[in-house]
């Protein structure tokens, strides 16, 4: 059985992301970034980035990443509930489980 990849971006990965880099799309596929349209920090100080990736001829698709949070792709949310992903994220960040 194949499990979807879990990706939790770091602050440095988010802050360094730029056009031309590879980043996950909303389906969990790593694609070339075509435009970064927002970067910043939320009210808790976590870094975030919003961007578009290539998605076929003449098409793009948006996604966003936040520091220390699971990139919740279509494949992950099809496999796990939101509550299960919250628990996985909490345990990974606490170091009580590893991938």
Position 27 in a domain = yes
**Start-to-end CA span in the chain (Å):** 16
Position 30 in a domain = yes
Quick: pLDDT tens for 18-33: 999 999 999 989 999 9
Quick: pLDDT tens for 45-89: 999 999 999 998 889 999 999 999 999 999 899 899 999 999 988
**Global pTM?**
0.86
What is the C-alpha R_g of the chain?
14
Total number of domains constituting the chain: 1
Position 2 in a domain = no
Give the structural domain span for 78. Answer: 11-94
Position 46 in a domain = yes
pLDDT band for position 93 (cuts 50, 70, 90): confident
Position 80 in a domain = yes
Position 3 in a domain = no
b or e along 59-72 (b: 16 or more beta carbons within 10 Å of the residue's beta carbon)? ebbebebbbebbbb
Tell me the backbone φ, ψ of residue 44, rounded to 5 degrees. -95, 5
Position 5 in a domain = no
Query: CA 53 to CA 56: how far, in whole Å?
Result: 10
Position 81 in a domain = yes
């Amino acid at each position: 059985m194949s499990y979807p990849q879990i990706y939790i971006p770091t602050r440095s990965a988010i802050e360094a992301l730029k056009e031309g880099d590879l980043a996950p799309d909303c389906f969990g596929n790593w694609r070339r970034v075509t435009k970064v349209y927002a970067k910043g920090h939320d009210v808790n100080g976590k870094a975030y980035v919003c961007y578009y990736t290539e998605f076929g001829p003449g098409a793009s698709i948006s996604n966003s990443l936040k520091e220390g949070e699971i990139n919740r792709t279509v494949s992950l949310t099809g496999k796990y509930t939101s509550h299960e992903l919250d628990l996985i994220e909490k345990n990974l960040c606490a170091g009580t489980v590893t991938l």
